[in-house]
Amino acid sequence: MAYQPFALKYRPQRFEEIVGQPHISQTLQNAVAEGRIVHGYLFAGPRGTGKTSTARVFAKAINCEQGPTLEPCGECDSCVAIQKGNALDVIEIDAASNRGIDEIRELRERIPYAPGELRYKVYILDEAHQLTDAAANAFLKTLEEPPAHSFFILCTTEAHKIIPTIMSRCQRFDFRAIPVGLIIEQLRKIAEQEEIEIDEAALRAIAVAATGAMRDGESILDQVIAYAGRDEPIDVDVVRAVLGITEEALLARTAQLVVDGDMSGLFGVVDELVDGGKDVVQFVVDLTEYFRNLLRMAMQADVPAWAGLEEEAAGQRQQQAAQLGAERILEIIHRLSQARDQLRYSNQQPLLVEVTLAQLVPAAQVKTAQPSPPAAVPAAGPPPVVHEPQAAPAVGEGPLTLEIVQQHWQRLPVELKRSGNMPIAPIVMAGNPVALDGDKLVLRFDETNQFHYNRTRSQYRDVVEAALQELFGQPLQIECRLGSAPAGGEAEPAPAAAPTVLTGSDDTEQAVKRTLQLFEGSREITEE
């Protein structure tokens, strides 16, 4: 006999076996018992929550040789045929592939004929929202005047797409996402029947990954057993390996780096993910869930029991939640959620994750190696104040020279901000433009800034070159060099301008504001 997946092997066969939908099971049982069965039902809800299974159980209940009955026997010819999918009078139609008016017309021609084997005909229309408008309107006539021997069950994951005229002729039942605890309980029963040794943490991880869908949970359990083997005990590490779930320790370490403002450490996390071949999208999803639990703690709410936090881990999270505060955590969750949506369409996922992590740390809190002093701004004045992201003013006409590049180098963060890449500005600006040969611009990094050098010449190269092209009006290719310049061959940066002596508090305040506006920072001015 061919192998039967758990999702099929353990499919509910009676109302009492339907998990997490008692409001629906009880209503349908009462309808059968009291003879209040209508001809049109609409089952709406997320995938894997039991819509089609409930439709089959209902078909068995009204066609069982012992009934109509509240609980089909499962042994008579009618029940067995429906259970095996061999009953000619229980017709399951996939509306996704039979969505046109011609298919519905053909269906309408068959509906008036009496059942061939069973007491009633039951039509189960899956993905009913896929019907075209013309097909839905053609089907409407059947629902208005159905034959006494025919019942229709429309199943959909998108009830809002069902036209109102059809919905008004059906009894609607809304299936709910199945709670994690109930999924764990069902998976535990399956593991016991299959004689599989699996710990609670592993069951919990599978149930959380199922996101409310029992079918998904059963399929994941099937996959995990195939990976580990039936004779090996299964723990949470096995589940994480199969699903690509981020290790708890890495999530906790990442959160602590955010708390500490350790930008270099955060970028190291991305390197670790990429080098290990991990899914950076899954990492962002898991990190969002981690901060969600921190938010609960920060707001004195209970963390869900299924989170399964050990005492030591819970203590660390409580401390992180207290250090960050609810408002800061909300902002972090918002940025991570935005990144999760953007990652689906990005072909530079590691870069996007790096920028997102950089944005989780306020500029005033960033702890990185101090960059080498950049080329000084000539006496023309301070860098332009940036109140909103905007294009930098044109550099001017004529051939581009190293002196022009050095003169306008401090305007590069403005362009990076305009393109949404402001968090990398402190890293890029650790380099100094020291030579220009045609379209090749040489950036020199001090030996103490090796991290900045590595990032600029690899992950950030394309972003920096695009910003330079916008700034100077012509394409430039950057070449990054590390260490002091060799004798001859490179121009030294322009000498640093003499420090400006600020004699008044207004001047000091204006200078601080210019700096903070440039790097999107913030600070409170305290009067002495």
pLDDT tens digits for range 474-512:
899 999 998 876 655 555 554 434 333 333 444 444 544
Most distant CA pair in the chain: distance in Å? 100
- Which token pair is 437? 């040969």
The predicted pLDDT at position 26 comes to 93
CB of 431 closer than 8 Å to CB of 452: yes
pTM for the whole structure = 0.64
Average pLDDT, the chain: 82
* Mean pLDDT to the nearest integer, 199-218: 90
- Which token pair is 368? 């990185």
* Bond prior to 68 in cis (omega within 30° of 0): yes
The predicted pLDDT at position 50 comes to 92
pLDDT band at residue 363, thresholds of 50, 70 and 90?
A: low
Pick the range with the lowest mean pLDDT from 51-60, 90-99, 120-129: 90-99
- Which token pair is 318? 């409580």
The predicted pLDDT at position 123 comes to 92
Backbone angles phi, psi at 289, to 5 degrees: -65, -35
Q: How far apart are CA 51 and CA 507, in angstroms?
A: 69
Domains of the chain with bracketed CATH: 6-174 (3.40.50.300), 180-243 (1.10.8.60), 248-365 (1.20.272.10), 402-515 (3.30.300.180)
Q: How far apart are CA 130 and CA 447, in angstroms?
A: 62
* Mean pLDDT to the nearest integer, 379-406: 60
- The shares of helix, strand and coil residues in the chain, as percent rounded to the nearest 5, are 50, 10, 40
- Which token pair is 109? 């021609």
Q: Tens digit of pLDDT for each residue in 308-345?
A: 556 666 788 888 988 999 999 999 999 999 998 888 88
Q: Residue 398 burial by CB count (10 A; 0-12/13-18/19+): exposed, middle or buried?
A: exposed
CB of 121 closer than 8 Å to CB of 115: yes
The predicted pLDDT at position 18 comes to 93
Backbone angles phi, psi at 124, to 5 degrees: -110, 110
Q: What is the CA radius of gyration of the chain?
A: 32
Pick left, alpha or beta for residue 383 (phi over 0 → left; psi -120 to 50 → alpha; otherwise beta): beta
pLDDT band at residue 441, thresholds of 50, 70 and 90?
A: very high
Q: Residue 74 burial by CB count (10 A; 0-12/13-18/19+): exposed, middle or buried?
A: middle
pLDDT band at residue 230, thresholds of 50, 70 and 90?
A: confident
Q: How far apart are CA 25 and CA 57, in angstroms?
A: 10
Q: How far apart are CA 269 and CA 140, in angstroms?
A: 57
Q: SS3 for 404?
A: helix
Q: SS3 for 525?
A: coil
The predicted pLDDT at position 21 comes to 93
CB of 284 closer than 8 Å to CB of 265: no
Q: Residue 148 burial by CB count (10 A; 0-12/13-18/19+): exposed, middle or buried?
A: exposed
